């Protein structure tokens, strides 16, 4: 595929890259496959992260995905932009060293605001490292209690800052929840077989993974997603050039995985129910291709960074949804953002039914308009 693409054709490529349509070079069957494909998947909200995986692994349940995380097919940490992502365990350390540490640039100011010192951070990492050594796994509350017992204050936002710093520095990582409690473990023990990459190789690997999982994209989109400077983003893309090809969307050159170069131009009419914190929207800064600016407020109320779960048709957001889970059912409230006739609503309910199946609960639907 080459030349100037229409918006619909560009969206079809993006949906394929995002593993939301069949892809010619991969048919993921495991959590590890999906996370390895993307390199990093937004997962600050665990429930959203689980469904991001489930939406790309038809037939698997939430219990299946949770079991895969217990098997360490992926782990959660803060590899870039100060935000929690799912990453391949073997790649966590080089990603933290390449992009994660960039989020520490403002730590001096933040420490001062919290009344902490660099020595406090170092002491906290030592304390956590000792407490977790030998396969230990502590909940957030237990980690904070351990710090307090060592004489390190955790009131206000101090505790969160210290836990975050320990993970960004590569001491700890976020292990799967125990019940509803977030837990932490040592990164070296959770991911003992870490890959070591030179900086230029790391830039190339990250660039290729971003493009193959999100393309068509520009260098600016890669910089925005990764937190790299635009110079480093362009350097990574240049290093990965042999695996990529260029297309034009409304005249603008964009990168796409070379495996999609000759993909047939199949009409796009898929209906999907996606979580709010999904790479579908969070993987881009410029979302106009997928999201009408008039619907921005409904998807991100107050522009506060909290994204609503979305209903997507033909690559465009056409509604938002919320779920309420009980022991006997999952009730889904759907707010259309465009006109949906009876046939379209039936397809939306079918898409949301996949989510209910993922949870193992019967669905109930509440249309808000």
Contact call for residues 12 and 265 (beta carbons, < 8 A): yes
In CATH, the number for domain 73-190 is: 1.10.10.10
Contact call for residues 270 and 313 (beta carbons, < 8 A): yes
**Residue 41 vs residue 8, higher pLDDT:** 41
Q: Mark 174-196 as b/e (b = at least 16 C-beta within 10 Å).
A: bbbeeeeebbbbbbbbbbeebbe
The CA radius of gyration of the chain, in Å to the nearest whole number, is 21
Per the structure block, which two tokens stand in for 128? 């956590």
What is the CB-side half-sphere exposure of residue 192 using CA atoms within 13 A? Answer: 4
**CATH 1.10.10.10 residue ranges for the chain:** 73-190
Instruction: Region of 29 please: left (phi>0), alpha (psi -120 to 50) or beta.
Output: alpha
Tens-place pLDDT, residues 136-182 = 999 999 999 999 999 999 998 999 999 999 999 999 999 999 999 99
Tens-place pLDDT, residues 274-307 = 999 999 999 999 999 999 999 999 999 988 889 9
Contact call for residues 317 and 307 (beta carbons, < 8 A): no
Q: Strand, coil or helix: what is 31?
A: helix
User: Model pTM?
Assistant: 0.95
In CATH, the number for domain 4-26+196-260 is: 1.10.10
pLDDT at 19 over 60: yes
């Amino acid at each position: 595929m080459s030349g100037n693409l229409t918006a619909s054709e560009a969206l079809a490529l993006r949906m394929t890259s995002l593993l939301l349509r069949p892809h010619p070079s991969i048919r993921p069957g495991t959590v590890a496959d999906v996370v390895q494909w993307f390199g990093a998947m937004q997962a600050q909200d665990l429930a959203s992260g689980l469904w991001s995986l489930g939406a790309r692994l038809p037939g698997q349940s939430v219990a299946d995905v949770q079991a895969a995380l217990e098997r360490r097919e992926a782990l959660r940490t803060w590899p870039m932009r100060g935000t929690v992502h799912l990453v391949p365990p073997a790649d966590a350390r080089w990603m933290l060293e390449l992009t994660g540490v960039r989020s520490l640039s403002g730590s001096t100011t933040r420490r001062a605001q919290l009344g902490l010192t660099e020595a406090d951070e170092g002491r906290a990492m030592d304390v956590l490292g000792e407490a977790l050594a030998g396969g230990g796994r502590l909940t957030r509350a237990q980690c904070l209690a351990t710090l307090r017992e060592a004489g390190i204050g955790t009131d206000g936002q101090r505790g969160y800052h210290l836990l975050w710093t320990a993970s960004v520095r590569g001491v700890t990582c976020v292990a799967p929840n125990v019940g509803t409690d977030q837990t932490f473990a040592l990164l070296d023990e959770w991911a003992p077989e870490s890959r070591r990459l030179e900086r230029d190789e790391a830039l190339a690997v990250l660039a290729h993974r971003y493009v193959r999982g999100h393309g068509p994209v520009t260098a600016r989109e890669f910089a925005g997603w990764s937190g790299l400077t635009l110079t480093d983003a362009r350097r990574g893309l240049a290093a990965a050039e042999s695996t990529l090809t260029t297309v034009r969307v409304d005249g603008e050159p964009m990168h796409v995985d070379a495996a999609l170069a000759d993909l047939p131009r199949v009409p796009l009419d898929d209906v999907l129910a996606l979580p709010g914190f999904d790479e579908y929207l969070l993987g881009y800064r410029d979302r106009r291709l997928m999201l009408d600016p008039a619907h921005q407020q409904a998807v991100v109320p107050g522009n506060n960074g909290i994204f609503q779960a979305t209903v997507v048709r033909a690559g465009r957001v056409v509604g938002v949804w919320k779920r309420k889970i009980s022991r006997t059912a999952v009730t889904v409230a759907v707010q259309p953002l465009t006109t949906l006739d009876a046939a379209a609503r039936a397809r939306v309910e079918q898409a949301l039914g996949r989510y209910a199946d993922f949870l193992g609960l019967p669905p109930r639907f509440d249309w808000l308009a």
